[in-house]
Amino acid sequence: MSAKTVLITGCSTGIGAATVRHFAEQGWNVAATLRKPEAVQFEQGSGRVEKFALDVTDQQSVDAAVARTLERFGQIDVLINNAGYGLFGPFESATPEAISREFRTNVDGVFAVTRAVLPHMRQRGSGVIVNVASLTGLIAMPLYSVYAASKYAVVGFSESLSHELAPFDIRVKVMAPGAVATDFSGRSLARTFEGDGGPYAESIRKVMGTFQANRASAGATAEQLAQALYDAATDGSAQVRYVVGDDALAAMQMRKELGEEALLLGIRQRFGLA
């Protein structure tokens, strides 16, 4: 039996890089895609890892990477849409350009790669698509309004797509991690504001402090997310939503136990906003 193949986007660092390593260690062929493949070196593990240039905001780049993956490995069994970035800060100061970039990467990018892979999976009559969203795509956190909107879109897209692809035996799943111990809040985090944020300065200070404390104490590691992505891709189940991380699981339990109004008030209190 030939090795299975996974195509992963956003592999330069963090969750993507850890997921490349994990699948390779399990003997998979891995198409590790990123905007600058020459900048990263991956270990082969017991599988085969090939790097391909892919910019999720460029359809020609997407199509070329998918074609090269199929040429190299002959099939794509799993697609993991991981590429994305965060946009933090007040909505009032978010420029149209910043909002457009967030959606082009986090939403349109998922659409573009999925659309490029689907004909192959549909013709084979099998496949798994795992989209990386966020806890903030299930329970919105303060000062992440645009980011939350993009991740809510990914969750809704994934759930609806799971229905329309079921007749082709293609499973669609969406991963919602809480805080993750990566540099996502550094290199990959853009801001909607300059300086201290003006009238929102105090809220920004409180929210950033709470997130940093939470990331240090309760955040999952990139390796834990890689394991969760592998499990979702290979468990053979019809499960669509996967919530990962102690903080994310606790938040979802709070929603169930407290109800919507009490949960929202609790979030504001936790971040010092009430």
Q: Which residues are catalytic?
A: 147
CB 90 within 8 A of CB 192: yes
DSSP 8-state symbol, 3: P
Rounded to 5 degrees, φ, ψ at 32 are: -90, 110
- Beta strands in the chain, from DSSP E residues, in sequence order: 5-8, 29-34, 48-53, 78-81, 86-88, 127-132, 170-177, 180-181, 189-191, 220-221, 241-244
CA distance 108 to 57: 7
CA 69 to chain centre: 21
Rounded to 5 degrees, φ, ψ at 194 are: -115, 160
Q: What is the CA radius of gyration of the chain?
A: 19
